A and B are shown apart, each in its own frame.
Chain A
């Protein structure tokens, strides 16, 4: 799990969170056992769990902030960074590693200027890493949203990203 260290939130998302919690305040009683449903509710609304939201949940449930964070990070379903419109997953399993997936990852990181778990500034991409996709025969593997790209070459990986960008924004970096 990548470290969930937060950056300062933009003002508009702060307002968004305030609005959301006005609703949550009405939907829930504020009991400690509502923690997970609340976390899910926030993730559904915002796509991830911003720091401010976790603090609000702690206040509502009267649980400690560390407990809320601990519980949230225990479940794979929760995210702590906003997610881009396209999620790029690079396999880090042994087979893929041997076939150079680490270099692919480095390339992508450099190209997009973000670390795994993070979203690009324009909200277009999030990169993630995966332990093993279970398709080692096709190593190295990269998954873009729901499409799997096997036996991937370095140059092809970056091209894929640019294609997406062109598709979504109509321009090249």
Chain B
């Protein structure tokens, strides 16, 4: 056996023995000579070798002598063979190595002492080992040109003068990040690592993941501000639901470095820009450090942002006493269901568990919910109904095994970057085929076999259309359906209405493309559907998810490796917050509150009578507050003032509350309306667990001390609870987890000490159970998988004459939700400093809008101003905007209409109109200009104009127009000219 075998497959291949420097060693078959030597702790100098990358053989330092082979060979590219006799440290070998090193060093410019990499540089290490003659260097050194350092990126610098051309960065970008932003370019002495067109890295397609930076052996690629950490703490990234494991590098009480954990099965050392460069918010000066109380008489709707005018600092005892008193009063006056609690998908499982326990056992209400309502409530509802479990069925690593990946309603490379790159690698390396269904031309479309750009809100029709094709071609898995599912017949019949012509008309996608995707998906032996908020955030959200469930059951793609149902959960711990029962209808582990047996169990465990009435959801709480039935709201780590739809309505609702308590790490937009603010700890300052999108419960560890008097969320909850007469005496979060395990069968075997290396995937029934990577093996959680009849329905709001543009909302790579964290990260904020609405160039030119213009977007609920980005990513007639900016809150526009089953609002479809902001300002007091703006040609027809005015309009004669309507801003003049020319107004 003389070929190299990828590390993952080696265990099966067996072992072999080699002689290295006269010592006999064992190695796994398929290893290279270098790997065998390193495995036996024999040092061989290397510069281009990286265990995560394919062998490249560029630096020629890893040379060795092998008996029977002529000359010396590079050990990193030579497969080891049983019985080989290798010498790694002979004079000849070292001579050749030194020659190779000297060639590298003569082209290496820079002063080691001032270099960020000093003492961590692999070149220094190798030079020390081999010893270098200055004389030789002087002989070789030619006056090479010093190249300018590329400082365009906020997180790192690129200094070509220190580059060895080892190619590790290029390979990392291609093989690990799957981006391909850089490559070796030019030739001879001019060879260098270059972006496309040799532009600064900031202007390239680089996604700032930092994989290249962490692998450069020298100071050529270095972080901008490097401080050497003195401590490393392993924990979990607090941003998205992928749940990457990280090592926080700590110096003093600050996070100064972040590295991905190589041993993590989730990210294998990789990170995205948020995880690697976005954690400085933890040490931001804006952190809340003391409890705050609203000053007497300051109204809720004050416009000032000067917090000292609104709040006064207080000490913990005063605040906690007062809260307990106010809550008690509310309950006495209005009953427990006049209180609502918003738990947090950013907080730990332990925090969430305690929060819902506080609601249920102490306050006697089930009115507890969290932002899963706004993202995956429809997933939970639909998947519980179809399969009996509301979570992702398989593991992230299953992506590597699938033949077909169907990504629908998920911009994975931006919203779940580490999963996104896994998809790209599966396509590149394993030949997986990709189908993308998304109204926008997202990045993944470039690698897709088929892109279905259906109209927003037509997912059911699209999926039904595909399924009908599958059935027509007899590609459905009849055995699976017969053995494992039920209610197939009515479902089958329901597909009758979805012939290609009908579906084409509804979705706007050519029938042939739908047919092709049906065939591709239907023929695959192993296929996965990955989806995100493009599926769930609709008034038909639950139906959309049911249609996906139907597709998977129809094709038998469940319960096996490489298949599965993959809702990509948004927040770092949204899965956990659901699991912990931060939902109005269930206790931890999805045990229903209206089930008497279950309730009895919890009553016994908590020693309190519990309310049997299911609680209300976030969306309903807002409405109840607006109508005056809900009097108090306790918000832990959520920001409804930016995340809810129809913000103007939310603001009014929150203003009507008698008591608003906000517990957070920053003064969020919601906190600004609070009566009491409690400073909590960030992920880096507490212990606990997060559960990621693949149901993996992972350990979060305290790395630094909280700022000022901030306290862990669970401790705050316990303190209030005590004051309300229900002591919660936990010594640690681990103790809370033990209680969770006792009461929650799916977490039965979870315990902090068991989560060491890679965490555990629930269900984990007992302390011996090793977790469940794949659900629904052999049988569904609910027994048989249930097909549902789902028929398409249009979205609640459709474009109209007055609001002609269809707006969808979402996220971008560099920011996170309402941005209270990511806007406080220097790198993230520098990379994406302001909001931009994406519109198609066709619409832009119709509206006379150019790149970078500020426009007003309005729906019938409100208006915002934002800059414009012209792009073919969105279709004409559509616009896309992220909801991260308080200056331009997209959710002021969105429609609160919600899915009746899951109560999830339709964030993905609202109708808006767009107008240049200067124009809008100008037309405010000028009716004629308004008419002109909306319909220049119509003005000629409907206004009784003098011939003089008429001529001015036809000719686009601004000076005359100004005499008439008053002075016009410069941008406005330009706009008018373009607009008048476009309309092709002429005297008829």
A: which residues have CB within 8 A of B?
1, 3-6, 51, 54-55, 59, 62-71, 73-76
Asked if B446 and A69 make an inter-chain contact with CB atoms under 8 angstroms apart, the answer reads no
Contact of A64 among B183, B184, B197, B199 (CB under 8 A): B183
CA distance A65 to B194 in the complex (A): 11
Partner of B197, one of A51, A59, A75: A51
CB distance A66 to B181 under 8 Å?
yes
Stretch at the interface among B185-193, B528-536, B599-607: B185-193
Contact of A66 among B187, B190, B196, B446 (CB under 8 A): B196
Nearest chain-B residue to A75 (Cβ)?
Answer: B187
Point out which of A4, A65, A73, A74 has the most chain B C-beta atoms below 10 A from its C-beta.
A73
- Contact mask for chain B residues 353-381; partner A; CB cutoff 8 A; 1 contact, 0 none: 00000000000000000000000000000
- The chain B residue sitting closest to A68, CB to CB, is B196
Asked whether B184 lies within 8 Å of A70 as measured between CB atoms, the reply is yes
B187 and A6: CB pair below 8 A?
no
The contact sample of 13 A-B pairs, CB cut-off 8 A, is A59-B446, A62-B446, A64-B174, A64-B180, A66-B180, A66-B182, A66-B183, A66-B194, A67-B180, A69-B185, A69-B197, A70-B183, A73-B187
| A69 contacts B187, C-beta separation under 8 Å | no
Q: How far is the CA of A151 from the CA of B572 in the complex (A)?
A: 73
The answer for the CA separation of A45 and B182 in the assembled complex, in Å, is: 27
* Complex-state Cα separation, A69 to B180, whole angstroms: 11
Q: How large is the interface on B (under 10, 10 to 19, 20 to 34, 35 or more residues)?
A: 20 to 34
**Complexed CA–CA distance, A40 and B387 (Å):** 56
Which of A1, A4, A54, A66 lies at the interface centre, i.e. has the most chain B CB atoms within 10 A of its CB?
A66
B179 at the interface (CB under 8 A from A): yes
**Looking at the complex, which one of A54, A69, A75 makes contact with B194 (CB distance below 8 Å)?**
A69
* B93: interface (CB < 8 Å): no
- Known A-B contacts A62-B447, A64-B179, A65-B180; A1 and B194 likewise in contact (beta carbons under 8 Å): no
B198 at the interface (CB under 8 A from A): yes
Within the complex, the shortest CB–CB distance from B232 to chain A, in Å, comes to 33
Total cross-chain contacts (CB, 8 A): 63
**Whole-angstrom distance from the CB of A130 to the nearest CB of chain B?**
14
By a CB distance below 8 angstroms, the chain A residues around B197 are 4-6, 51, 54, 69
The answer on a CB contact under 8 Å between A1 and B190 is: yes
Once the chains bind, are B446 and A70 in contact (CB under 8 Å)?
no
Q: At the interface, is chain A mostly helix, strand, loop or mixed?
A: helix
**How far is A70 from B186 in the complex, measured between Cα atoms in Å?**
6
Q: Which residues of chain A are near B170, meaning CB under 8 Å? A: 66
Check B183–A67 contact: CB distance below 8 A.
Answer: yes
Bound state CA distance, A70 and B181, in angstroms? Answer: 11
Residues in A whose Cβ lies below 8 Å from that of B194: 66, 69-70, 73
Given contacts A55-B196, A65-B196, A65-B205, 20 further A-B contacts (CB under 8 A): A1-B186, A4-B198, A5-B198, A6-B197, A51-B197, A54-B196, A54-B197, A63-B180, A66-B181, A66-B183, A69-B183, A69-B194, A70-B185, A70-B194, A73-B185, A73-B186, A73-B194, A74-B184, A74-B186, A74-B187
A residues in contact with B77, CB < 8 Å = none
Q: For residues 155 through 187 of chain B, which have their beta carbon under 8 Å from a beta carbon of chain A?
A: 170, 173-174, 179-187
- Chain A contacts for B198, CB-based, 8 A: 3-5, 69
Asked if B663 lies at the interface with its beta carbon under 8 angstroms from chain A, I say no
- State how many angstroms separate the Cβ of B77 from the closest Cβ of chain A: 21
Question: Interface 1/0s, chain B 323-345, versus A by CB < 8 A?
Answer: 00000000000000000000000
Report the minimum CB–CB distance from B174 to chain A (whole Å).
7
Please give me the residue from chain A that is nearest to B181 by CB atom.
A66
By a CB distance below 8 angstroms, the chain B residues around A63 are: 180
Q: Does B259 contact A (CB under 8 A)?
A: no
Contacts of A70 in B (CB 8 A): 183-185, 194
> Is B187 in contact with A76, judged by CB distance below 8 angstroms?
yes
A73 and B184 CA atoms in complex are apart in Å by 9
